[in-house]
Amino acid sequence: MTAQLNPFRNAFRLPTKQRINWFPGHMNKGMRQIQQKLRNVDCIVEIHDSRIPLAGRNSQFFDTITGSGVKPHILVLNKVDLLGPKQQRSVLQQLRRQQPELKNILFTNCKDQRNHGVLDILPLATQLVGDSSRYNRAQSAEHNIMIIGVPNVGKSSIINVLRNVHLKKRSAARVGAEAGVTRAVGERIKIQEKPAVYMIDTPGILQPSVTDDEMGMKLALVGCLPDHIVGEDLIADYLLYWLNKHRRYEYVEKLSLSSGPSDNISAVLAEYAQTHGMFHRVKQYDGQVEVMTNLLAAARKFIQFFRTGQLGSINLDEHA
Ligand SMILES: Nc1nc2c(ncn2[C@@H]2O[C@H](COP(=O)(O)OP(=O)(O)OP(=O)(O)O)[C@@H](O)[C@H]2O)c(=O)[nH]1
């Protein structure tokens, strides 16, 4: 695709009537439960999606909930298989520039047989707890590590990998492709025998108010909340906006678009649906049945291409 002056929108706004409930009741409850358990926690491991290293990670918010300003804290950027090694390096540089206070950053992949990076979490946590003067429980018989983060980033998956590897035990935390699988702070899950280390799984929590439209859309795009809350049509529109803005035109070939890049989501989805046989039958008022292109199915496919890395390695927080 030839480089060209970007003829597309340069800002994304939610439709004015769109009301999105970013913060359902169980998150409020989860937040209180997290705070109640904090006293016995030695280290906070914040898990986030590596494709949005900044969006949704309001560090002040998590600091307030978990006191991670005083407790040892590790930021784990998971799903690095969807980010790719080149982007990984630029994400690290970006974080070092923008959040120099973050000292302990790991990239992980739970889908990799070798559990890329996941096995570094425990040694680093143990070292940080040992070095911590305020919470010096290094000599104590057991450590408690609390896992926090926004929904669907792989918190439960990481606990399961660690438990399987260190204890050769079956999964203990529920994992699911939809956001919001873990609804409450669970019991401690043992992941190592000597010294005993426990992990506490917590429900995914977003900030109580997501005021930045783009931040909300990025969270939606990587699946941090169920698709129906924002709507697949809107998520697909944001994806198209982002790709054009960053001149990432891989979608043109992937969606077999004959006329090149476009900023019109309806036209893009209609063409994809037509060329890929996506139709549905709609009954009209007069009883006639009309065959129409299935734009929703096309939107779902477009989003799925992004989520499975088929539109290339993407850091949604990179500057245009
Ligand atoms: N590609 C990829 N997918 C992953 C990885 N880790 C977890 N997943 C998938 O991400 C989805 C969410 O994983 P969970 O472990 O349930 O995430 P969670 O943060 O506990 O989710 P909530 O309970 O909703 O807060 C599941 O479909 C996992 O299979 C990873 O490293 N790479």
The Å distance, Cα 181 to ligand 1 centre, comes to 10
Show me where the domains of the chain are located.
25-200, 213-307
Query: Hey, do 25-200 and 213-307 end up sharing a CATH topology, with the first three levels equal?
Result: no
Closest-CA residue to 203 (of 219, 184, 176, 226)? 184
Which CATH number does 25-200 carry? 3.40.50.300
Ligand 1 nearest-atom number relative to CA 201? 20
Confidence (pTM): 0.90
Residue 107 contacts residue 88 (beta carbons within 8 Å): yes
Per-residue CA distances from 133 to 42, 71, 72, 128, 137 (Å): 11, 10, 10, 10, 9
Which CATH number does 213-307 carry? 1.10.1580
The Å distance, Cα 69 to ligand 1 centre, comes to 26
Binding site for GTP, residues? 78-81, 152-157, 204
Pocket residues for ligand 1 (CB within 6 Å)? 78-79, 81-82, 109-111, 151-157, 175-177, 179-182, 203-204
User: Within 13 Å of residue 201, how many CA atoms lie on the same side as its CB?
Assistant: 28
Quote the CA–CA distance of 40 and 59 in Å, as a whole number: 21
> Can you give the pLDDT at residue 89?
94
Tokens of 227: 């698709």
Residues belonging to the chain: 320
- Residue pLDDT, tens place only, 182-227: 666 777 889 998 889 999 989 888 887 777 889 899 999 999 988 9
Ligand 1, residues 175, 189, 307, 313: which to mutate, most atoms within 8 A of Cβ? 175
Ligand 1 nearest-atom number relative to CA 175? 16
ipTM for the predicted complex: 0.98
- Residue pLDDT, tens place only, 250-301: 999 999 999 899 999 999 999 999 999 999 988 888 888 888 999 999 999 9
Ligand 1 nearest-atom number relative to CA 181? 23
> Can you give the pLDDT at residue 233?
95
